[in-house]
Every structure is written in C-alpha cells, then in structure tokens.
Amino acid sequence: MADIIFSSWQEELVDNRKATEQDRKKPGNVKLPPEFRPGERIRAFMGWDGIILCDDDVDIVDMCAGYAETVQKESCGKCFPCRVGTRVVSDWLKKIASGEGWEELPARIGELALQIREGSKCSIGQTGMNPILHALKYFPQAFADAIAQKKKAREGRYRFAVTAPCVSACPSSLDIPGYVEEISEQRFAESLATIRQSVCMAGTLGRVCIRPCESNCRRANIDEAISIKNLKRFAADYEIDKNRHPEIEGVKKAGGKVAVIGAGPAGLSCAYYLAMKGHWPTIFEKLSEPGGMAAVGIPDFRLPRPVLRREVDIVREAGVEIRYGV
C-alpha cells in the first residue's frame, strides 16, 4: 500500500503531515496501490468518500479545481442544484487556483457545496462535493495562502474516471447507469445505442451474461439489485419487435486491413469496433457459421439462433467481411 500522509476516506481521519516517519499511522480502510502503472506513482486520490494524499508536495487547491471541473462535466443537468451549483463551485475554485480569489470565497464554496450535496437527485451531486468539503475543512491554510498571496496554483497532471460498482464489475465497463436511466425514460433506441458503445451483441449478452454487475448493484443495499441483464435484453428485443435497424453512421475508411481469427463473440466485437474506427477487418472462421461457442455451445432455447444471426448481420453491415471454412 502507498505511504499515506493524509486521509479522510470513509470518515476515518489520518493526518500524518506533522508526524515523523516512524510515528505515521496507517488508515484501516484505504487500499491504495503505490503506483497507477509501473513507473507512475500515485501522489494523491480524490473521490466520493474523501481525500488521500501520498505526497505533501501536491497542490490541493489545483487538485480541487481540476476535480470540480470534472464533476461539473459529468452532471446530467436534470436537477438545478447539481447543474448550476457545480458550475459555480468549479468557477470559484478556478479563481482561487489562478490567484484571483477573495477572502470570503472558501466559506461561500463550502456553503454551496453543502447545498448541492443536500439538494441533488443522484450520487454525482450527493457525493461529488465531499472531497471539496474535506479539503476546505482540513486544508484551510492552503486556500487562505493562495488568496492572500495572489499566487497561481501549481498545475498538476490528473487522471479522471467516473464509475459505479456495477460498471467496475462489468468486463466491458458498460455505462449501466446510463442505459438503465434511458430505459426508465422510455428512450429505448438511445439506450441500445449506449449499450453498443461498449458491446455490439446486446441481445446475446442480455440472455447469457453471468451478470457480475447485479452482484455489485447499489440498489441491493435497499431492497434488491436492478435486473440489469434483462433490461439489456429488453432494449435489444425492442428493436427487433419494432422491426428497426441500427443507424450506422458512415465511417471514413482511412485505416488499414486487419485479419481477425475466429467469428466468436470476441472476434465479432473486435472486428465491429475496428470497422467503426475506419479499418477494413476480415474475420477468418473455421466453422461454417458465425458465433463460435455462442452458436455451438449454447442451446437455442437459451440463445435463439435468429437473435445471434441478426447481431452478426449488424456486424457485417458495419463493414466486416467474414470468411468461413478457413
């Protein structure tokens, strides 16, 4: 685990900023690896449950400004506190980070952040302000110095990710909250388009997926998990029932030719997304039909052959060639 200088994660406060190396405490509920990837050390982390610092040289003001900007971009805009409030918080933090803040601004940011947290409808607003509130509470001098000295914050390099337990559990990192919400709003075509951004065989997965997402669904903390897999199947079947076909926008074919071995779900998906990026994929399949184990290993009563073949046809329409018996 990374060496922690400060942590407010999950309401457990560990402050080693003035402690000697021997006296530093370790938080019990933080499991942060020392590196994001080999050679790239994690210096700080900011998220829904607080702040974690592994390097006392991190500029907390600049980090808050970058974080608030990302939260604002992710706001869906459906509730006023989050849509407008996060923009104001982001603008105010940018002013402090650029040396243009004023003395009362941190207090005003804190008040507004609390209002956003209390008045928002979803977790973006409800939890997105937590690390900013923690920063204002535990690092007041950093904000005061930035304002008093009119100094510009040191710009850091940050990586941002918006996720949920269900998304993290999904091997394809499908935007599950997005397509479930679109179905709830009866925007079925948009929901299927959202699904196809990550998986091109929604009808197949909607029938045979082992649904690790549902084991990690937050709704289960209240009553039971959302039927994520069945909703995916519904979106795909709705398109079939209405005799609709996905509109595949014209992709400029500026890429090269690519050979894909095997017309199973992995090969079909690989070829589909290569085609959507402008390449010319050709799949070479040993069998006389596509689908791989989805076709020959799963009985028709669980995965009807017409559903599978229709999804293969959609892959072909994207510009994929399939050669059989090779």
* 32 in any annotated domain: yes
In terms of domains, do 196 and 232 share one? yes
The CATH number of the domain holding residue 184 is 1.10.1060.10
Selection from 163, 162, 169 nearest residue 216 by Cα = 169
Helix 60-74 / helix 80-97 crossing angle, nearest 10 deg = 150
| Contact present, 5 and 53 (Cβ < 8 Å) | yes
pLDDT in tens, the chain (326 residues): 568 899 999 889 998 988 887 788 888 888 888 888 888 888 999 998 999 999 888 999 999 999 999 999 888 878 888 889 999 999 999 999 999 999 999 999 999 999 999 998 888 888 999 999 999 999 999 999 999 999 888 888 888 888 889 999 999 999 999 999 999 999 999 999 999 999 999 999 999 999 999 999 989 988 999 999 999 999 999 999 999 988 777 677 788 999 999 999 999 999 999 999 999 999 999 999 999 999 999 999 999 999 999 999 999 999 999 999 99
> Does a structural domain hold residue 247?
no
* Structural domain contains residue 23: yes
pLDDT of the residue at 2:
62
Helix (H) or strand (E) holding 321: strand 321-324
**131 and 195 share a domain?**
no
Q: What is the pLDDT of residue 145?
A: 94
Whether 31 is covered by a domain: the verdict is yes
pLDDT for position 226: 96
Domain count, the chain: 4
Domain interval for residue 212 = 165-241
Q: Which residues contact 19 (CB under 8 A, 6 or more apart)?
A: 25
CATH number at residue 261: 3.40.50.720
- What angle, rounded to 10 degrees, do the helices at 130-138 and 60-74 form? 160
Do 102 and 179 belong to one domain? no
Round to whole Å and give the CA distance between 213 and 199.
15
Please state the pTM of the whole predicted model.
Answer: 0.76
Element (H, E) at 168: helix 165-169
CA dist., res. 271 & res. 283, Å (int)? 7
Q: Are residues 66 and 93 in the same domain?
A: yes
Handedness of CA 269, 272, 276, 278 (dihedral sign): positive
Domain-located, residue 154: no
The reply to whether 1 falls in a domain is: no
Structure tokens at 77: 């805009």
- Cα gap 96→105, rounded to integer Å: 8
Same domain, 212 and 283: no
